[in-house]
Amino acid sequence: MGVQSEAKRYAGKVVRRLGRAYPDATCSLDFGNPLELLVATILSAQCTDQRVNVVTKKLFAKYPSAADYARAPARQLERDIQSTGFFRNKAKSIRACCEALAGDHQGEVPRDIEVLVGLPGVGRKTANVVLGTAYGIASGVVVDTHVARISRRLGLSSEKSAEKIERDLMEQVPRKEWIALSHRMIQHGRRVCTARRPACDGCPLESVCPRMGVERNDSRDH
């Protein structure tokens, strides 16, 4: 068996085990339409999803359309999202992105990754979240800090940059698994394979995982 198919076989095992462990894993950001998910994802940088959900409850009612964000005075929008942190940059991104949506896309969030990443403030991660979760389009694999860490520990990638890790995952995992895989890895990263203390004892991947970069005493019971 070639190196490539060996890697795919291993990735298949990981995907199946994560699927059994987290069958219902989904996005933990609240949203009612693609625009809301786009805004929530921008706000979620360096912030917990719970905090974002508290803020967006009022925000979505106040700004129902892309044009509403585009028209909002900068200071006002900054105040509305302040508690998510980095609010100046986030407000700037949301306004610039919504200006482009309102001006060039009839206020709709495009369904195309190339178009999406061309919007101000939207990177591949945000674009993949929106396309995968709001539209069900498998454009790539969302690589956040959890997915990056777990991919390395599992030996699915030895890369550091999110883009290269994503490329490795896309090569090894079939497209139909991409959307669910991100959600499942994120849940696994929050519950079991945490940054500081991965709970390897009892982890559903324990018997296949090479634990790359994990010190034995990192995985104490907790």
Does residue 211 bind ligand SF4 (CB under 6 A)? yes
Binder of ligand SF4 out of 152, 153, 183, 184 (CB under 6 A): 153
Taking each helix axis as running N to C, give the angle between helix 178-191 and helix 162-172, from 0 to 180 degrees, rounded to the nearest 10: 120
For residues 120 and 96, is the Cβ–Cβ distance under 8 A?
Answer: yes
Catalytic residue, from 125, 164, 168, 221: name it: 125
Does residue 18 bind ligand SF4 (CB under 6 A)? no
Minimum Å gap between C-beta 47 and ligand SF4 is 24
Minimum Å gap between C-beta 185 and ligand SF4 is 9
Does residue 40 bind ligand SF4 (CB under 6 A)? no
**CB burial string 99-125: b at 16+ within 10 A, e below:** bbbbeeeeeebbeebeebeebebbbbb
Tokens matching residue 161? 């940059």
Is 164 assigned a catalytic role? no
| Euclidean distance between CA atoms 193 and 185, whole angstroms | 9
Is 144 assigned a catalytic role? yes
Binding to ligand SF4, residues 155-194 (CB under 6 A): 192-193
Catalytic residue, from 144, 176, 201, 218: name it: 144
| Euclidean distance between CA atoms 107 and 51, whole angstroms | 26
For residues 90 and 11, is the Cβ–Cβ distance under 8 A?
Answer: no
Minimum Å gap between C-beta 125 and ligand SF4 is 21
Does residue 203 bind ligand SF4 (CB under 6 A)? yes
Q: Which residues of this chain interact with ligand SF4, rule CB under 6 A?
A: 150, 153-154, 192-193, 198-200, 203, 205-206, 209, 211, 214, 219
